[in-house]
């Protein structure tokens, strides 16, 4: 699904990713943990195509496509989804118009007709129920006036609407209370299937109690320094990051 | 050596001397007064604060002439600029009314005709030609008066209302053409009217439009104006509107510059009866090297009045914009509630906006709020939209429509709103 090979990226003159390697197979859930400043959010941004980041070396193969050659909207149309750490408020753009434009952009990319209004509304109803946002999106602007929890649930709603091949969740658990964490996690779990992969970026092990990963990686100073099964997250929670110093050989 | 002002004055004198041809309105006393005033009034230059950001130097450089009356309405121009709008019509070409193309209401208590007819019928008495003394106060006003042409004359008796809007379609065509239309709207107590003021100009047109509209909204009356400028060619358009409101009246105006090479809209509203309410919306989206200036004055002189002003602009290319919004709350205007908002997006590095809210408040028990912003497109929001698969152009279009949307709400006619949105969408490749 995703093969990252020797990825280097920088913001302005500051190198942040320094030779990152990662392979994610279809249907797998990978968690990336690591201390502040290790490059977790940079990885998410580079994958999604944020222009402030410059890739200086390496490659990213996304299901047979050279991801780095595509702009952000084409990456999304190819099936990549980024759940933002800080979802953006866009006053005046309605949630539903926004999602309709997004759904139709993807359909056009796939050579399909725009979605019928009735089908779209049925889809909204079904997917918003998944994250308990039913009836709360209509007549409201994108994320405007949403609580922190509602914004994160809206991210998962959008993911459900767009049915990506690979979803990158960038600290989706930050700022969530226990209930919102449960709702968001259940939304993600409901979408897990054999063809869809997830990259879950988080500081804390508690999210991984809800979204149980197949693999856990530790990112430090722009490289994956340790990988292991889900139990690695518990070990990190207990010991912190300091005991991991050097990259894996 | 002559100073800059002398050069400007000389250019202005040459411009005025070349501006031959007279209107057909029959407002001869006004024309004479205008000509006399031209000799004394200072020519607007950058030295005057009011004209600092909208110099008329380029206009004065090309002589213009008042065109003779056309034989007919040009065949290739739709008479009704708003498809599907069921409306009465007063149509002008280069400042001349084309009677065959007009469609005037006939009803008790309604007088709606060409200004020239109203003058001929004696409806405009001596000393009543210029309600605000504009011709004796402003050089531009004197130019209009000296060459005053035709326009709309609408007068409603108390308690009458027009069943359909009146579209005043002024089409400008030809080169180095001067048009000086004059309109007057007079609403009696509790009467109601909607007017669409539409200016169009053909490709290749050049010259000046220098128009005046005088309005009086009587007690309890309601006047709505949808004003649209959609002008091809190289036209310098100076528009001056002055509306006086009586007790409990409502005046609403939406001013949208869809396209215009150089536009200056001066809108002055005077509330002189308590309980009056004013709504002023404006939108400007200049491209290329276009220039759009909106100068508004909201004058609250009596208690218990409200005003709500919202102007938004998006400036592309190397275009320039001006928003100057003056709000007076006079000493007697207690319990005024005045709101003014001006927001701008400078979309390209070469574009600029000069935005200037000006509030002068002399009463102590009032509520006045105002805000003025100048910014760029929110890159984070654009990235958010793109990260969902929406292309760059569509994402920008969504953002623009979201930004400008609330200004475009509240037009008198749905059809006008739709047409304006479609013209803007076509011009800016939205959707």
Per-residue pLDDT of chain A (249 residues; tens, 9 = 90+): 999 999 999 999 999 999 999 999 999 999 999 988 899 999 999 999 999 999 999 999 999 999 999 999 999 999 999 999 999 999 989 999 999 999 999 999 999 999 999 999 999 999 999 999 888 887 889 999 999 999 999 999 999 999 999 999 999 998 888 888 999 999 999 999 999 999 999 988 889 999 999 999 999 999 999 999 999 988 888 888 887 755 554
Rounded to the nearest angstrom, the minimum Cα separation between A104 and chain B is 9
**B93 with B73: CB under 8 angstroms?**
yes
Lookup result for tokens 């290319």: B317
Any CB–CB contact under 8 A between A139 and chain B?
no
Lookup result for tokens 């200036």: B293
Lookup result for tokens 């129920």: A129
**Interchain proximity A76–B389, CB inside 8 Å:** yes
pLDDT for the residue B71: 80
pLDDT for the residue B6: 77
Q: How many Å from the N-terminal Cα to the C-terminal Cα in chain B?
A: 57
CA distances from B364 to B125, B297, B367, B368 (A): 41, 20, 9, 11
Predicted confidence (pLDDT) per residue in B220-245, tens digit: 999 999 999 999 999 999 999 999 99
Pick from B236, B228, B135: which is nearest to B178 by CA? B236
Output DSSP code: residue A171.
Answer: S
**Interchain proximity B398–A101, CB inside 8 Å:** yes
Pick from A160, A202, A238, A168: which is nearest to A34 by CA? A202
Pick from A2, A6, A19, A8: which is nearest to A54 by CA? A8
φ, ψ for residue B361 (rounded to 5)?
A: -120, 120
Any CB–CB contact under 8 A between A47 and chain B?
no
Predicted confidence (pLDDT) per residue in B400-428, tens digit: 989 998 999 999 999 999 999 999 989 98
The verdict on pTM exceeding 0.90 is no
Q: Which alpha helices (DSSP H) does A131-214 contain, by range?
A: 148-162, 178-191, 206-210
- Region B32-40: mean pLDDT is 92
Q: Which alpha helices (DSSP H) does B82-232 contain, by range?
A: 115-120, 134-137, 139-146
What average pLDDT is seen over chain B?
94
Q: What is the DSSP string of A225-239?
A: EEEE-THHHHHHHHH
% of chain B at pLDDT higher than 70: 98
pLDDT for the residue B1: 42
**Interchain proximity A102–B383, CB inside 8 Å:** no
pLDDT for the residue B24: 67
Residue B360, pLDDT above cutoff 70? yes
Cβ neighbours for B182, distance < 8 A, ≥ 6 positions apart: B25, B27, B115, B144, B148, B149, B150, B151, B211, B212, B213, B214
In angstroms, the CA A18 to CA A117 distance is 47
Helix A95-109 crosses helix B379-386 at what angle (to 10 degrees)?
A: 50
Label residue B371 left, alpha or beta by phi (over 0 means left) and psi (-120 to 50 means alpha).
beta
Q: Is residue B424 helix, strand or coil?
A: helix
Which of B1-15, B119-133, B181-195 is predicted least confidently? B1-15
Give residue B126's pLDDT band: very low, low, confident or very high (50, 70, 90).
confident
In angstroms, the CA B51 to CA B260 distance is 18
Q: Which two tokens stand for residue A53?
A: 């980041």
In angstroms, the CA A146 to CA A175 distance is 13
pLDDT for the residue B4: 58
In angstroms, the CA A171 to CA A203 distance is 7
pLDDT for the residue B106: 94
ipTM of the complex: 0.95
E strands, B83-137, are 88-93, 96-97, 110-114
> Half-sphere exposure of B257 toward its Cβ, with a 13 Å CA cutoff?
30
CATH class as words, domain A2-84+147-248: alpha beta
φ, ψ for residue B376 (rounded to 5)?
A: -105, 175
pLDDT for the residue B2: 46
Rounded to the nearest angstrom, the minimum Cα separation between B406 and chain A is 8
Predicted confidence (pLDDT) per residue in B313-326, tens digit: 999 999 999 999 99
Closest-CA residue of B relative to A160 is B388
Predicted confidence (pLDDT) per residue in B325-349, tens digit: 999 999 999 999 999 999 999 999 9
Closest-CA residue of B relative to A71 is B386
Going from N- to C-terminal start, the domains of chain A cover 2-84+147-248
**Interchain proximity A105–B384, CB inside 8 Å:** no
In angstroms, the CA A207 to CA A176 distance is 10
Q: Is residue A192 helix, strand or coil?
A: coil
Nearest to A48 among B387, B391, B392 (CB): B387
In angstroms, the CA B92 to CA A64 distance is 64
Rounded to the nearest angstrom, the minimum Cα separation between A161 and chain B is 10
Q: Which two tokens stand for residue B312?
A: 């938004």
Pick from B176, B186, B128: which is nearest to B155 by CA? B186
Predicted confidence (pLDDT) per residue in A33-79, tens digit: 998 889 999 999 999 999 999 999 999 999 999 999 999 999 999 99
Strands A166-170 and A80-83: parallel
What average pLDDT is seen over chain A?
92
């Amino acid at each position: 699904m995703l093969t990252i090979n020797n990825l280097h990226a920088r913001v302005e003159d500051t190198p942040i990713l320094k030779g990152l390697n990662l392979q994610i197979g279809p249907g797998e859930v990978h968690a990336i943990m690591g201390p502040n400043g290790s490059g977790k959010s940079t990885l998410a941004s580079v994958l999604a195509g944020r222009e402030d980041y410059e890739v200086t070396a390496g490659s990213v193969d996304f299901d047979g496509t050279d991801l780095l050659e595509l702009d952000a909207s084409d990456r999304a149309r190819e099936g990549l989804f980024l759940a933002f750490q800080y979802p953006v408020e866009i006053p005046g753009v309605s949630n539903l118009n926004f999602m309709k434009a997004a759904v139709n952009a993807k359909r056009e990319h796939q050579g399909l007709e725009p979605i019928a209004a009735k089908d779209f509304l049925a889809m909204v109803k079904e997917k918003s129920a998944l994250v308990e946002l039913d009836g709360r999106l209509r007549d409201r602007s994108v994320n405007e006036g949403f609580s922190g929890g509602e914004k994160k649930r809206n991210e998962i709603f959008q993911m459900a609407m767009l049915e990506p091949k690979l979803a990158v969740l960038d600290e989706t658990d930050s700022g969530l209370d226990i209930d919102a964490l449960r709702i968001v996690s259940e939304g993600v779990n409901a979408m897990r299937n054999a063809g869809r992969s997830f990259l879950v970026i988080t500081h804390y092990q508690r999210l991984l109690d809800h979204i149980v990963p197949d693999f856990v990686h530790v990112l430090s100073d722009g490289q994956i320094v340790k990988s292991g099964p889900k139990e690695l997250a518990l070990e990190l929670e207990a010991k912190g990051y300091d005991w991991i110093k050097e990259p894996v050989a | 050596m002559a100073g800059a002002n002398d050069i400007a004055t000389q250019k202005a004198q040459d411009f005025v001397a070349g501006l031959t041809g007279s209107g057909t309105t029959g407002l001869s006393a006004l024309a004479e007064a205008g000509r006399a005033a031209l000799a004394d009034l200072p020519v607007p230059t950058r030295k005057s604060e009011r004209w600092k950001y909208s110099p008329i130097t380029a206009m004065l450089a090309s002589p213009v002439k008042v065109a003779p009356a056309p034989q007919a309405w040009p065949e290739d121009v739709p008479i009704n600029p708003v498809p599907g709008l069921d409306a009465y019509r007063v149509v002008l070409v280069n400042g001349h009314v084309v009677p065959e193309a007009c469609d005037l209401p006939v009803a008790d208590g309604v007088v709606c005709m060409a200004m020239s007819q109203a003058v001929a019928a004696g409806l405009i008495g001596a000393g009543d030609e210029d309600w605000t003394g504009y011709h004796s106060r402003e050089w531009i006003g004197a130019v209009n008066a000296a060459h005053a042409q035709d326009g709309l004359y609408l007068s409603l008796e108390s308690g009458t209302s027009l069943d359909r809007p009146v579209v005043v379609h002024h089409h400008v065509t030809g080169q180095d053409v001067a048009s000086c239309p004059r309109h007057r709207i007079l609403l009696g107590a509790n009467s109601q009217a909607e007017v669409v003021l539409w200016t169009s100009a053909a490709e290749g047109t050049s010259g000046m439009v220098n128009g005046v509209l005088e309005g009086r909204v009587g007690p309890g009356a309601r006047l709505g104006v949808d004003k649209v400028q959609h002008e091809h060619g190289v036209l310098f358009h100076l528009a001056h509107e002055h509306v006086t409101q009586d007790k409990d009246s409502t005046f609403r105006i939406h001013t949208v510059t869809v396209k215009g090479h150089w536009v200056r809209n001066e809108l002055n509203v005077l509330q002189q009866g308590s309980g009056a309410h004013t709504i002023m919306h404006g939108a400007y989206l200049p491209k290329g090297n276009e220039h759009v200036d909106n100068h508004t004055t909201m004058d609250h002189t009596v208690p218990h009045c409200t005003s709500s002003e919202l102007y938004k602009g998006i400036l592309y290319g190397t275009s320039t914009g001006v928003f100057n919004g003056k709000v007076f709350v006079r000493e007697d205007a207690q319990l005024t509630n005045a709101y003014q908002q001006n927001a701008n997006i400078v979309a390209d590095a070469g574009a600029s906006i000069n935005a200037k809210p000006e509030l002068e408040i002399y009463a102590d028990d009032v509520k006045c709020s105002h805000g003025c912003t100048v910014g760029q497109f929110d890159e984070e929001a654009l990235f958010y939209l793109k990260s969902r698969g929406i292309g760059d152009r569509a994402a920008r279009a969504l953002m623009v429509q979201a930004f400008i949307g609330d200004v475009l709400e509240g037009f008198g006619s749905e059809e006008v709103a739709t047409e304006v949105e479609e013209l803007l969408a076509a011009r800016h490749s939205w959707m």
